[in-house]
Amino acid sequence: MKKLFGLIQKYRLQGIIDVLLFAGILLFFHFLYRGNRDIFTHWSFYKNSSEFLSNTVFHWVDALVSITRIPFESFEHLTRNGSIFKRAFLYYGSLNYGIIYVSWGCSGLKQFYQWVFLIALFPGPWKHKLWYIPMGIGVIFLVNVLRIYSLLIVTMYSPSIVHFFHDDIVRPFFYVVMFALWVIWNERFTIPMRKKRELNRKAGAEMNEVVS
């Protein structure tokens, strides 16, 4: 193990290892969720949490719609062509209409879990984890609100690319934000903690040499 740590320090591989660890933790919990989605969706705590969070996101987006006065109507329940949509935003264009609705999958709860486990498992002092984890959750929540609001704007101006924008742009943006937050964590807390431990280790080794 000492040889491994020596190689990491010699070739300055710690940054690469940290990025791989970041990706590994997120991917592990992503596939854990995907592979057990039925279990999660039938777990009452998860369902209730998703429902509560979806409603909260919906009302925040609705407040943003009201402030910016974009031409959307909001509905707790909307029936259209035989389909029922919960937490829906309806836009009437010149020729047709567009609907964006906040499903339980839009709650951001999965990303909350990923973030909590990422920082909890990653090296760093717990006294800072106790405030950094909630702060990150707050940032992810705001990103989710802006994500759905941006879908409303795209529905107004370019409805043909809504699905592409949702799947390939704003959904991956969650992970861009989490990566940025993680980089701050790593630079501010993980790396200084490692340097402090290394200095303490060297000081201890020098003290042992003096004593011997």
Q: What pLDDT digit, counting tens, does each position of 22-61 carry?
A: 888 888 888 887 777 677 667 787 788 889 999 999 999 9
How far apart, in Å, are the Cα atoms of 176 and each of 92, 111, 166, 182? 33, 12, 15, 10
What whole-number distance in Å separates Cα of residue 54 and Cα of residue 50?
A: 6
Q: Quick one: CA torsion of 159, 51, 171, 74, rounded to 10 degrees?
A: 20
| pLDDT reading at 11 higher than 50 | no
pTM of the model: 0.84
In tens, the pLDDT along 138-185 reads 999 999 999 999 999 998 888 889 889 988 998 888 899 999 999 999
On the question of pLDDT at 195 being above 60, the answer is: yes
pLDDT in the model for residue 202: 61
Q: Is the pLDDT of residue 6 over 60?
A: no
One-letter amino acid of 88: A
Question: Which conformational region is residue 91 in: left (phi greater than 0), alpha (psi within -120 to 50 degrees), or beta?
Answer: beta
Q: Torsions phi, psi of 43, nearest 5? A: -85, 120
Domain ranges of the chain: 26-195
- pLDDT tens digit sequence for 108-135: 888 998 999 999 988 888 999 999 999 9
Q: Does residue 5 have a pLDDT over 80?
A: no
pLDDT of the residue at 34: 73
pLDDT at 3: 45
Q: Which residue has the higher pLDDT, 48 or 3?
A: 48
**What is the reported pLDDT for 4?**
41
Which pLDDT value is given to residue 14?
A: 73
- The per-residue pLDDT for 74 is 92
Residue 186 has pLDDT above 60, yes or no: yes
